[in-house]
Amino acid sequence: MRIMFVAALGLIAGLSFGSVSASSQQAPDIKTLRGNVPTVDLAAPEVARQNVGGRFERAYRQQPPLIPHQIDRYQIDLRTNQCLSCHDWSTAAKNAAPTLSMTHYLDRDGRQTDTVAGTRWFCNQCHVPQADAKDLVENTFKPSSTVK
Ligand code: HEC
Ligand code: HEC
């Protein structure tokens, strides 16, 4: 019984050793969805600078203002929203932060609420930290107020 067990172990070891050396000799023939296009490892682009001095102007009246400070330490999830600890109407004054505008306290039926509306919970769906970044694509946008 014991001998058989040892022999079996040897067989497994031999098998896996064999497969390792086989795979190092020839690359496995795996087809990707795009066909056999060689993969190129690109370096991650540099992170665009944040908090460029001062606040950026809004490009049009309805634009969610850009965030003029870092946000990486402020958690937003199902239960927690740390932005509200400074921006909610009940906390803004003592933190010298701008209060959420009243549109953030309208529920989807247009009723006014005392707590931020669910539709405004995930702040970074609309507000992004400002950065001194190049346009990704050419952009000729002009706000209607400047078009004659
Ligand atoms: C510790 C307090 C604090 C927290 C937390 C905080 N902010 Fe702010 N925020 C400020 C202050 C203060 C200003 C005003 C800065 C200035 O005017 O230069 C500001 C400015 C802003 C503005 C610009 C408003 C405008 O009218 O231009 C936006 C948008 C904003 N914050 C969004 C956020 C979001 C989104 C989060 C969470 C990810 C957040 N803030 C978390 C304090 C905070
Ligand atoms: C659905 C998009 C949307 C979401 C989500 C959203 N906002 Fe806004 N926010 C806007 C728009 C648009 C404006 C400017 C027009 C207005 O005041 O309604 C604005 C304005 C602001 C202002 C400036 C208020 C003022 O009177 O100058 C602050 C501060 C702000 N938002 C913070 C936040 C924070 C913090 C959250 C998350 C709790 C949040 N917003 C969620 C769209 C959004």
Q: Which residue has the higher pLDDT, 25 or 22?
A: 25
Q: Is the CB of 86 under 6 A from ligand 1?
A: yes
Residue nearest to atom 28 of ligand 1 (CA): 67
**Residue pLDDT, tens place only, 81-92:** 999 999 999 999
The predicted pLDDT at position 54 comes to 82
Q: Is the CB of 67 under 6 A from ligand 2?
A: no
**Res 95 pLDDT > 90:** yes
pTM value surpassing 0.85: no
Q: Is the CB of 56 under 6 A from ligand 1?
A: no
The predicted pLDDT at position 59 comes to 87
Q: Is the CB of 99 under 6 A from ligand 1?
A: no
The predicted pLDDT at position 2 comes to 52
Domains of the chain plus CATH, in order, are: 51-132 (1.10.1130.10)
* Portion of the chain with pLDDT greater than 90, in percent: 42
**Average pLDDT of the residues in 11-39:** 58
Three-state DSSP string of the chain: CHHHHHHHHHHHHHHHHHHHHHHHHCCCCCCCCCCCCCCCCCCCCCCCCECCCCCCCCCCCCCCCCECCCCCCCCECCCCECCHHHHCCCCCHHHCCCCCCHHHHECCCCCECCCCCHHHCCHHHCCCECECCCCCCCCCCCCHHHCC
